[in-house]
Amino acid sequence: MNSADAVIVRNNLEVSEALITNDFSKVIFSYTTTPSGKLLVLSSFFDDVWIIPDSQFTTSVTKSFKRLNFKTVPSKFVHILKLCVLKYSLFGLFGQPPRGSTIKLFFTNALSFLNYISKHTDSLNAINPLLFSNYTLDTKLVKGRKEALLTIDALRLRFTGVEQLHLLSQDTVDPMRHPWPDSSASTLSGKNGTEWYLKGKTPVIPDDILAVLFQQSVSHMERAEYLIELRDASRQIISTLTSRGNQTLYTSPFLQSQGFDGGLREVLGELRKTYIACAVIILTTSGVRIHELHSLKEDCRFTTEDSDGKTIYWMRGRSEKTGEGDTEWVVTEATHQAISVAAKITAPLREELKQKIDELFSVNADCHIAAQLSRHKDVIFLGKHTITGEISTLANLGNLLTGYCTDLGLDWNLTSHQFRRTFAVYVVRSAHGDLRYLKKHFKHWSLDMTALYAANEQKDSDLLDELMQAYSEAKESIIDHMLDETTPLSGGLADGVMKFRAAQIKTYQDRSEMVKTVADFVHIRATSVAWCTNDLGNCVGGSGLEATRCGDCVNSLIDDTKLPVWQGIYEQQIELLDLTDIGESGLERVRRDVARCEKVLKDLGAPVEMTHG
């Protein structure tokens, strides 16, 4: 054990003893280690401001968020809140220490409660039930941003903070009674029952919004190389000038000669849009969370080949949400392109940051600031503070994404976490042959990709859960449509399904239960022309030259969602009947395909003119 570890162990023992003796003179709240392994104290118990270590946060979190300012706490509650924060940070509530953002959240919500009760009492132990009740009622009248009342989620977090304060204050000098022994934070906030858990809380980005958002992002990315060359050439011109006051006299003519209508500021503005567009493409095609996007580095791309020699694109990063740690995601070629472009855009910032780090370390090999900055040196999504000039992982990328959507004239309240849910839905659409405008980007995906996640612990297992949830929902939606008595059906299983519908089975409580039960027992996958229930994996119907094979297959179901495909095949086959150079066997095959199409089209209620021989 090195000296730093020994100090840490000793501090934890001293904390345990201090909680008994109420003497915290030797207690350290937070510390970090220098590059050489030395211990550096960040905060002691009696400091007014406690600093949560960088290691407790993702790289995009700002310095101000890592600080707990006890000067804002009513003086009579400072000591007890410090005790609770100390206990929480070291031991958690149930033996698992929380991450920095969770500690910060507890501090913020507890502070709201303490500010309220400080007008009425001097200790936690003296709070009466009426004061707890008044707090809940008054909190529901609090207005947040845009003069709107707090959301149910915001209320639940505030009330949860009070419950946590109750638990953490036990075995201290000022224990607090349970604020609402016959209720809970969820119930008080309005999240009653379990229904809200079962619903998808994050909306899927609508098709028409995502189409424009993605297509515009691709368009921006395609201009990236041109803009980067203009930026670098303009900066090279500026570097040769003896005076910085007349930059535009030299850069603007150059830019105009290259076909760009504007100055260097406009070039940088366009690159800023391109930078955000790269984030849109990565989020859309990978399903990563925003903090996982922030973890991407220059070397995060790699490829493998499957058993058929097809290239599989991968991206590696880090996930802190579920303790996944270092992980990898299946992505697309477009994702790799977006990563490359984003890295090129921020290359000057990385170079500047690395020079700053080298300068600091050259003066002091144990420089704490340099060590902090080193966490950002290889990151792709960097930004530079407009006032301090500090370079770090971009903290406001979520807001930039929202603004980017607004600038495109899209009427949608875009948030970064919507991409993950949307990604899962589109992967399932890919597996079911319904790709819409993203087809060429999702072309190598099917539900087989889940095996890549399930077989390797380094993959994002939580994303696998998202995919399977989206798959289950899609499967139930497909089956629900087929069980609707108004839905026309064709294929080998059509008669059986229609008899099942007509029987009006009464063994289920409601239609929803019936759909879920049927979905659990039925294997279903998409071919290009039908829904296939064959679970042996040896079927090649619906593809290549056998596109019409599903028409009379005993395992197929064809509903009206496949009607446009069959109409297209039918029109093509009718044209083939007029060919004179395919021989009698060729014509016979065309006639067979035409007959299959006609049956399907008639079953689905489409008009068919049988004018061929």
Q: Are 45 and 86 in contact (CB under 8 A)?
A: yes
* 3-state SS class at 377: coil
Sign of CA dihedral 326, 300, 424, 472: negative
Is the pLDDT confidence value at 174 over 80? Answer: yes
* Cross-strand bridge partners of residue 318: 326
Q: What is the DSSP letter of 297?
A: B
Token pair of 201 as six digits: 């809380």
Question: What is the pLDDT, as a whole number, of residue 6?
Answer: 46
Residues 453 and 462: their CA atoms lie apart, in Å, by 9
Lowest mean pLDDT among 46-55, 285-294, 341-350: 285-294
User: Which tens digit of pLDDT belongs to each residue from 247-267?
Assistant: 888 899 999 999 999 899 999
Apex CA 412: angle with CA 211 and CA 152, to 5°? 135
- Model confidence at 545, pLDDT cuts 50, 70, 90, reads low
Residues 37 and 2: their CA atoms lie apart, in Å, by 8
Question: What is the pLDDT, as a whole number, of residue 510?
Answer: 66
Q: Are 337 and 353 in contact (CB under 8 A)?
A: no
Residue 327 phi/psi, 5-degree rounding, is -150, 175
More confident residue, 183 or 352: 352
Q: What is the DSSP letter of 122?
A: S
Q: Tell me the domain boundaries of the chain.
A: 48-198, 207-423, 484-603
Q: What is the DSSP letter of 313?
A: E
Token pair of 423 as six digits: 């990604």
Token pair of 535 as six digits: 């679970």
Q: State how far the alpha carbon of 278 is from the alpha carbons of 77, 267, 612, in Å.
A: 47, 16, 53
Residues 377 and 603: their CA atoms lie apart, in Å, by 63
Q: State how far the alpha carbon of 67 is from the alpha carbons of 46, 56, 63, 398, 556, in Å.
A: 14, 12, 7, 22, 61
- Helix, strand and coil content of the chain, in percent to the nearest 5, comes to 55, 10, 35
User: Which tens digit of pLDDT belongs to each residue from 272-323?
Assistant: 999 999 999 999 988 888 989 999 999 999 998 877 788 888 999 988 765 6
More confident residue, 588 or 17: 588
Token pair of 250 as six digits: 């030299």
Tally of CB atoms within 10 A around 144: 10
Start-to-end CA span in the chain (Å):
90
Is the pLDDT confidence value at 131 over 80? Answer: yes
Question: What is the pLDDT, as a whole number, of residue 451?
Answer: 42
Would strands 556-559 and 325-331 be described as parallel, antiparallel, or unpaired? unpaired
* Cross-strand bridge partners of residue 31: 41
**Of 435, 401, 431, 394, nearest to 418 (Cα)?**
401
- Model confidence at 444, pLDDT cuts 50, 70, 90, reads very low
User: Which tens digit of pLDDT belongs to each residue from 599-608?
Assistant: 999 999 888 7
Residues 142 and 155: their CA atoms lie apart, in Å, by 10
Residues 560 and 567: their CA atoms lie apart, in Å, by 11
User: Which tens digit of pLDDT belongs to each residue from 69-95?
Assistant: 999 999 999 999 999 999 999 888 877
**Of 484, 469, 555, nearest to 514 (Cα)?**
484
Percent of residues, the chain, with pLDDT higher than 70:
81
- Model confidence at 543, pLDDT cuts 50, 70, 90, reads low
Residues 514 and 508: their CA atoms lie apart, in Å, by 6
Question: What is the pLDDT, as a whole number, of residue 457?
Answer: 47
Mean of the per-residue pLDDT values for the chain? 82
Q: Are 595 and 549 in contact (CB under 8 A)?
A: no
Q: State how far the alpha carbon of 565 is from the alpha carbons of 430, 451, 529, 568, 611, in Å.
A: 16, 30, 6, 5, 21
Residues 246 and 248: their CA atoms lie apart, in Å, by 6
More confident residue, 184 or 112: 112
Q: Are 83 and 45 in contact (CB under 8 A)?
A: no
65: CB partners within 8 A, 6+ apart: 57, 101, 104
Residues 325 and 336: their CA atoms lie apart, in Å, by 21
Is the pLDDT confidence value at 520 over 70? Answer: no
| Average pLDDT score over residue span 137-163 | 87
Question: What is the pLDDT, as a whole number, of residue 433?
Answer: 42
Lowest mean pLDDT among 457-471, 536-550, 568-582: 457-471
| Average pLDDT score over residue span 409-415 | 91
